[in-house]
Amino acid sequence: MQAIDTGDLPGLGPEVRSSARPSAALGQAVGALGLSGESAGLAKAAALLWHDHLDESHTVSQDIGSADGSFLHGIMHRREPDYPNAKYWFRRVGDHPCFPALASEATDYLDAAGDEALAKRLAPGGHWDPFAFVDAVEAAVRYGNPAEIEPLRHVQRIEFETLAQTILA
């Protein structure tokens, strides 16, 4: 989705990158997609979230009652960071249709990066565990472990892309 292309990855927390586009420009980019209804709201919340506009993304996603809206809401709270609230929203997501692809792609990435242990924590038995991802992000951010932060940022990108594919399908 062109509206989220930045060339770099968002952080695991609330920091704002220099590559983040202004929210007005994102609104125009999402509007150009020609989406309507919930799909337009999801695309807007996703673009705002990718570009580090957490509060604005929250405003949009909290009014979307679907599993997709709850998923975006959960990511937003994980980045705030408000880890218990993120888990609340991931409980509302349930078993999301993008979880199998997310588990597969995250495992492939982490295995190739030599981090099989993290792959097994995040996708035990090949099933995506959003709560384990929240826990891994919390631990990496809390202890400032750069060896875990970078792979988790890549997994967050994979999470975001698989969700976006579902939203735009």
How far are the Cα atoms of 42, 143, 159 from residue 165, in angstroms, in the given order? 12, 32, 10
Bin 52: left if φ > 0, else alpha if -120 < ψ < 50, else beta.
left
Q: Which two tokens stand for residue 89?
A: 């929203």
Q: Coil, helix or strand for 20?
A: coil
Q: Which amino acid is at 31?
A: G
Mean pLDDT, consecutive 10-residue stretches, the chain (169 aa), reads: 72 93 92 90 94 96 95 98 98 97 98 96 98 97 88 96 86
Is 41 within 8 Å of 63 (Cβ atoms)? yes
Q: What is the pLDDT of residue 147?
A: 85
d(CA 69, CA 93): 8
Omega into 81 within 30° of 0, i.e. cis?
yes
Q: How far apart are CA 89 and CA 91, in angstroms?
A: 5
Residue 80: give the domain boundaries.
Answer: 2-168
**Exposed, middle or buried, 150 (CB in 10 Å: 0-12/13-18/19+)?**
middle
pLDDT for 13 equals: 95
Helix axes 146-168 and 130-143, enclosed angle (nearest 10): 140
Count up the domains in the chain and report the number.
1
Query: Can you list the alpha helix ranges (DSSP code H) found in the chain?
Result: 23-31, 37-50, 54-61, 67-79, 83-93, 99-112, 116-122, 130-143, 146-168
